[in-house]
């Protein structure tokens, strides 16, 4: 479930409001500088489709959307101008920016009437930026709140993907079926990235990013803790998803090429894995456990990612990553409820028709027949006495 608003969180965010806004504003310049370097390199060195931002047009309700192969590009020489840390900071800043923008968008529309809602925003860490935390303890609590939101929506996105494509494009071979089922394992079960890669290659022709449905896109964005109200349009939300993973893959290329995962501090490695939805903070994983998940993720990216910059199918990759949030720990129900019979009200349906007739004849019907018979006998007795 998502976190609940509390007075303590409200007080904390009120104290850190102005310093947090100041930090967000001061971070705008370096974030823009990093974005501009990446954007300029895309215009100068990127493929034609990327430069022109080719869109996929469809005759159905999708209309237009981004294509993973045409609109996402891994720049192998990006590290000559942008460091891995700058990419990581840009990913974090863009997340913070969208949170503030969605909340701030209510002010021009509602004006002063939006102010009474401000305490509800500040009393919960879900939609406040990370800059509203001044201590490591506060930042840890903020990250765990983000994890709670991931726990809430990631299982829904996984179920939606599986049910929809189980019906429309079930795997053809045993290997593809094993890989497909591997994606949706839960409860911290390790998924074999090599098997998942087989499914990702097979489904690249069916679950293409530009064909994602609006409902699935909304669940995907919520799983990534992107604000979805107002959603504005599929193209807008899809662009955020595309840009997020495009930055992640450019950072991944630098990390894998230079082996930076071995030189990162524990905090840096955990943050690197967390931004790819591989390591929830509430699990308190050891460095070895995080490193294993990162290694599996790199295996899933594969050799083709390093040679030609081609990443696995984005939807399958997202489902694989969200698998670490696919567990029932977010549920509020008591596990003892599972021992109860959910169909007590249907028990009579399972009885034989003859038994149901006997119960009816020896129950209310018998009493009604007896009362009716007694009345008839009384009437007959009365007539005989009158005669």
Q: What pLDDT sits at residue 1?
A: 47
pLDDT at 231 over 80: no
Q: The pTM is what?
A: 0.81
Q: Are residues 109 and 161 in the same domain?
A: yes
Which of 182, 234, 172 has its CA nearest to residue 209?
Answer: 234
CA angle 209, 320, 238 (to 5 degrees): 25
Q: Are residues 189 and 280 in the same domain?
A: yes
Q: Are residues 145 and 41 in the same domain?
A: yes
Six-digit token string for 206 = 């069916």
Q: What pLDDT sits at residue 202?
A: 84
Q: Are residues 68 and 165 in the same domain?
A: yes
| Segment (H or E) for 56 | strand 55-57
Answer yes or no: is 54 within a domain.
Answer: yes
d(CA 130, CA 138): 9
pLDDT at 281 over 80: yes
pLDDT, greater one: 254 or 173: 254
Q: Are residues 236 and 360 in the same domain?
A: no
Answer yes or no: is 337 within a domain.
Answer: no
Q: What pLDDT sits at residue 75?
A: 95
> What's the pLDDT tens digit per position in 99-112?
888 887 777 777 77
Answer yes or no: is 1 within a domain.
Answer: no
- Sorting pLDDT into bands at 50, 70 and 90, what band is 292? very high
Q: Are residues 98 and 29 in the same domain?
A: yes
Q: What pLDDT sits at residue 150?
A: 92
Please give the share of the chain, as a percent, with pLDDT higher than 70: 90
Answer yes or no: is 213 within a domain.
Answer: yes
Answer yes or no: is 250 within a domain.
Answer: yes
Answer yes or no: is 169 within a domain.
Answer: yes
> What's the pLDDT tens digit per position in 12-27?
999 999 999 999 999 9
Please give the share of the chain, as a percent, with pLDDT higher than 90: 47
Q: Are residues 234 and 353 in the same domain?
A: no
Q: Are residues 285 and 374 in the same domain?
A: no
CB 196 within 8 A of CB 320: yes
**Arithmetic mean of pLDDT over the chain:** 86
Answer yes or no: is 336 within a domain.
Answer: no
- Sorting pLDDT into bands at 50, 70 and 90, what band is 54? low
pLDDT at 83 over 90: yes
Span 77-87, average pLDDT: 95
Q: Are residues 223 and 355 in the same domain?
A: no
Answer yes or no: is 166 within a domain.
Answer: yes
Could you list the residue range(s) of the whole structural domain that residue 163 is in? 7-330
Q: Are residues 326 and 358 in the same domain?
A: no
Span 59-82, average pLDDT: 82
Six-digit token string for 335 = 């596990």
Q: Are residues 258 and 381 in the same domain?
A: no
Structural domain count of the chain: 2
Tell me which of 285, 305, 330 is where a domain ends: 330
d(CA 358, CA 197): 61
Q: What pLDDT sits at residue 207?
A: 78
Q: What pLDDT sits at residue 145?
A: 92
Q: Which long-range contacts (CB under 8 A, 24 or more apart) does 99-104 make?
A: 99/127, 99/128, 99/129, 99/227, 100/24, 100/129, 102/127, 102/227, 102/229, 102/230, 103/127, 103/227
> What's the pLDDT tens digit per position in 109-158?
777 777 787 888 888 888 899 999 989 999 999 999 999 999 989 988 99
d(CA 177, CA 181): 6
Q: Are residues 259 and 348 in the same domain?
A: no
Six-digit token string for 296 = 């599996």
> What's the pLDDT tens digit per position in 303-337?
999 999 999 999 999 999 999 998 765 555 566 76
């Amino acid at each position: 479930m998502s976190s609940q608003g509390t007075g303590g969180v409200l007080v904390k965010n009120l104290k850190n409001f102005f310093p947090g806004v100041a930090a967000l504003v001061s971070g705008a310049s370096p974030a823009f500088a990093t974005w501009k370097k990446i954007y300029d390199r895309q215009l100068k060195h990127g493929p034609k489709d990327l430069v022109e931002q080719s869109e996929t047009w469809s005759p159905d309700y999708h209309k237009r959307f981004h294509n993973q192969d045409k609109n996402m590009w891994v720049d192998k020489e990006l590290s000559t101008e942008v460091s891995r840390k700058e990419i990581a900071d840009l990913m974090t800043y863009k997340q913070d920016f969208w949170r503030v923008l969605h909340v701030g968008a209510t002010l021009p529309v509602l004006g002063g009437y939006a102010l009474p809602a401000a305490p509800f925003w500040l009393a919960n860490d879900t939609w406040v930026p990370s800059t509203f935390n001044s201590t490591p303890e506060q930042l840890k609590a903020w990250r765990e709140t983000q994890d709670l939101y991931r726990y809430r929506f990631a299982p829904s996105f996984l179920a939606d993907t599986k049910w929809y494509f189980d019906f429309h494009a079930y795997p053809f071979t045993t290997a593809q079926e094993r890989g497909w089922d591997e994606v949706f394992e839960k409860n911290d079960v390790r998924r074999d990235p090599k098997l998942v890669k087989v499914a990702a290659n097979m489904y690249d022709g069916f679950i293409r990013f530009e064909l994602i449905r609006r409902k699935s896109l909304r669940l995907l964005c919520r799983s990534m803790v992107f604000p979805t109200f107002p959603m504005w349009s599929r193209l807008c939300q899809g662009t955020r998803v595309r840009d997020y993973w495009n930055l992640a893959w450019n950072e991944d290329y630098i990390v894998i090429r230079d082996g930076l995962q071995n030189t990162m501090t524990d905090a840096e490695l955990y943050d690197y894995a967390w931004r790819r939805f591989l390591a929830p903070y509430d699990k308190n994983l050891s460095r070895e456990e995080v490193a294993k998940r990162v290694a599996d993720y790199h295996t899933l990216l594969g050799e083709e990612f390093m040679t030609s910059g081609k990443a696995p199918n984005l939807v399958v990759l997202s489902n694989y990553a969200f698998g670490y949030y696919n567990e029932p720990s977010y549920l509020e129900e008591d596990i003892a409820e599972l021992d109860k019979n959910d169909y007590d009200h249907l028990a009579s349906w399972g009885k034989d028709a003859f038994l149901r007739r006997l119960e009816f004849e020896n129950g209310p019907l018998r009493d009604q027949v007896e009362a009716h018979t007694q009345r008839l006998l009384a009437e007959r007795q009365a007539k005989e006495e009158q005669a």
